[in-house]
Amino acid sequence: MLVKADVFIFYFVWITMAQLLAQEEKEKTTALKDLLSRIDLDELMKKDEPPLVFPDTLEGFEYAFNEDGQLRHTTTGEPFVFNYKEDLHRWNQKRYEALGEIITQYVYERLEKDCKLRKEMLPVDATEDEPKSFIYLSEDAQTNADKLLVLIQGSGVVRAGQWARRLIINEDLNSGTQIPFINRAMKEGYGVIVLNPNENFLEVEKVPEAEQSASDTSDEPAEKRERKEEREGKKKKDFYEKYRNPQKERETERIPIRENSSPEEHTLYVWDHFISKSLAENIFVVAHSYGGLSFVELLIQREDEVKSRVSAVAMTDSVHNVWHQEANRSIQEWLKERCCNWVSSSEPLDTVVDPMLPDCLRLSAGTERHELTSWKSFHSIFKFFDKHLEQQMEEDVDEEEPSTTVTTRGSNRTKHEDL
């Protein structure tokens, strides 16, 4: 009986302690909620991070491009510094993005003023109020009967005339923009079309939903209201732990640009309305990264047209995949004959690299940096185009020469056996 009494007393004490601990935990939780409700986290954390307001000109950032096309501080002469404010990564990133938008406008100016390209709005039949994109063309892009060069960049924030924003900011204009390709092409008699495959939508500020009036929440049960406040408190706390400053950025929504809402759509649209209508006998394409995938998609959608008009394609670290994109055998064979992909590799420039897929020749770009592949293979690409031009000229001469071969049953049999 004494044992049972001891057990009963033990359980009684244990249950009492558990209840006391639970009560204490509940009181701590209530106190924490009360503390959080009295702290304005937004105001507290804004003291840690400066406002997300940045200059809208290079001069405002105190940067300029020097004679070598390098971005340098106008006072110190130093390269761009990303980590401008220590331990404020989000603020530094927003500053970098603001500078990137200025760089985009700067490159547009260079295309128009230095390269003498003209802007063509898309869609071609766009109304005044609908979202629009654009491309750049040389004056002879559609009238040059000899050669046309088409430039397609990769995906991301880069816009017309750019290969890589990072290179423009940290290296120079030559490596990061398409300007050297445009200048050389125009010097060698090409017409030029510069695509803009990442300008796919118009971003507008989202109209905020009307806030619920106090009367809307007054009818809510107390328990439901408490759970809602608890969720909001946790959301604020999590946000604080993720960012030092939850400065509210404007909410936006994206309105797609008609028939140009993706890189693939844009490439197809420009082909239908501009490239295919050019008079050029020989069309050449340079496609970087995702631009290679967009070109292969164009080839799939307009196979006969592309094959009959495009003389050669130079890809740089292209991410296309003939299997995933379901390219047929004839397309794969055409790519083997007309396409070369300069890929990131530690091997010297133009070294043959083992093919990953049965589509086109892969050569080393002489760099392991993806974004540098276009610039590093610059001279090799134009040599590649020259080679195909020579082959095309030889084929044209052969077609013009009258045939002097006497057709016999034996010669026909030999041809058939060779095939």
Helix ranges (H only) for 316-361 are: 329-338
> How far is it, in rounded angstroms, from Cα 340 to Cα 361?
5
Q: Given the residues 289, 374, 377, 380, select the one marked as catalytic.
A: 289
Residue closest to 158 by CA, chosen among 90, 108, 95: 108
Give how far the C-alpha of residue 257 lies from the chain's centroid of Cα atoms, to the nearest Å: 17
Helix ranges (H only) for 39-158 are: 41-46, 58-61, 89-113
Sign (positive or negative) of CA dihedral 82, 83, 88, 89: positive
Location of structure tokens 């209201």 = 225
Measured CA to CA in angstroms, residue 411 lies from 105, 280, 327, 415 at distances of 64, 37, 36, 6
Q: Give helix 263-270 / helix 290-301 axis angle, nearest 10°.
A: 50
Whether the bond into 123 is cis, omega within 30 of 0: yes
Active site residue 289: yes
Given a contact cutoff of 8 angstroms between Cβ atoms, the answer to whether 343 and 367 are in contact is no
Given a contact cutoff of 8 angstroms between Cβ atoms, the answer to whether 196 and 262 are in contact is no
Measured CA to CA in angstroms, residue 374 lies from 138, 162, 315, 349 at distances of 21, 11, 8, 12
Q: Which long-range contacts (CB under 8 A, 24 or more apart) does 97-100 make?
A: 97/157, 98/54, 98/55, 98/56, 99/54, 99/61, 99/63, 99/169, 100/157, 100/165, 100/169
DSSP type of residue 218? H
The greatest distance separating any two alpha carbons of the chain, rounded to the nearest whole angstrom, comes to 125
Tell me which residues are annotated as active site: 289
